A and B are shown apart, each in its own frame.
Chain A
Amino acid sequence: AQSVTQLDSQVPVFEEAPVELRCNYSSSVSVYLFWYVQYPNQGLQLLLKYLSGSTLVESINGFEAEFNKSQTSFLLRKPSVHISDTAEYFCAVGTSGTYKYIFGTGTRLKVLA
């Protein structure tokens, strides 16, 4: 069965420092990859998506993600974080031929002043 792993359950980082959040998945077929962000007491919001094409994906709020097929990873990065980036980040994977999405267990990013 497919699985999605986010090994870091919590990541503390100081404001204006860079951050990397890791996501690994197990699948031998074509995948669709997503990063979602969840602020307290809210639903999940799409941050980034990889469907095909360039392995580097950028969002409008400074985050970028890199897809590595050989390592089956989808790394989320931001070069300089803000207090407002404090949230929980979820990686999700869908595979071609199915409508199901599998979510990782989430990484709580806490940005410290």
Chain B
Amino acid sequence: NAGVTQTPKFQVLKTGQSMTLQCAQDMNHEYMSWYRQDPGMGLRLIHYSVGAGITDQGEVPNGYNVSRSTTEDFPLRLLSAAPSQTSVYFCASSLNRGQPQHFGDGTRLSIL
């Protein structure tokens, strides 16, 4: 049982480039979310999804897009990378509302 899998683990981008962070879960969880973790700021919610075809914005959605075409996958797209998006990104999933989240190992992203 792999849980929540994030790829890549590390990535360096130049300002203006675009890329997609991948997230997949094999637990048939309805709820998935993306967070960014920055020093001293905890985890901030970027986007979340409550099921296939349903997404919504979190606390810091600007500069990011998401889609949820299947229950398993929830990719995060950076449209035009900026240095302010340098961060560690975590994907998480949970079975339902109020249930604990399962986290991936994170993607460390540096924007030069």
Query: Which A residues form the contact surface with B (CB < 8 A)?
Result: 4, 6, 9, 32, 34, 36, 42-46, 49, 51, 90, 92, 94, 96, 98-106
Residues of A within 8 A of B103 (CB): 36, 43-45
Residues of B within 8 A of A90 (CB): 42-43
B58 in contact (CB, < 8 A): yes
Contacting B98 at CB < 8 Å: which of A6, A46, A94, A102?
A94
What are 10 of the A-B contact pairs (CB < 8 Å)? A43-B103, A43-B105, A44-B43, A45-B103, A46-B100, A46-B101, A94-B97, A96-B98, A99-B48, A103-B44
Residues of B within 8 A of A51 (CB): 98
B75 in contact (CB, < 8 A): no
Interface size for B (C-beta < 8 A) is 25
Q: Is the CB of A99 within 8 A of B105?
A: no
How far, in Å, is A57 (CB) from chain B's closest CB? 12
How far, in Å, is B31 (CB) from chain A's closest CB? 5
A42 to B45: give the CA distance in the assembly, Å: 18
- With both beta carbons as reference points, the residue of chain B lying nearest to A94 in the complex is identified as B98
Residues of A within 8 A of B90 (CB): 43-44
Residues of A within 8 A of B102 (CB): 46
Number of A-B contacts (CB under 8 A): 56
B40 in contact (CB, < 8 A): yes
Contacting A34 at CB < 8 Å: which of B4, B33, B100, B104?
B100
> Which parts of B19-54 form the interface with A (CB within 8 Å)?
31, 33, 35, 40-45, 48, 50
Residues of A within 8 A of B92 (CB): 44
Closest 9 CB pairs of A and B: A43-B103, A105-B42, A103-B43, A32-B98, A103-B42, A44-B103, A46-B100, A43-B105, A49-B100
A104 to B4: give the CA distance in the assembly, Å: 22
Q: Is the CB of B97 within 8 A of A99?
A: yes
Q: Is the CB of B31 within 8 A of A99?
A: yes
Q: Is the CB of B40 within 8 A of A101?
A: no
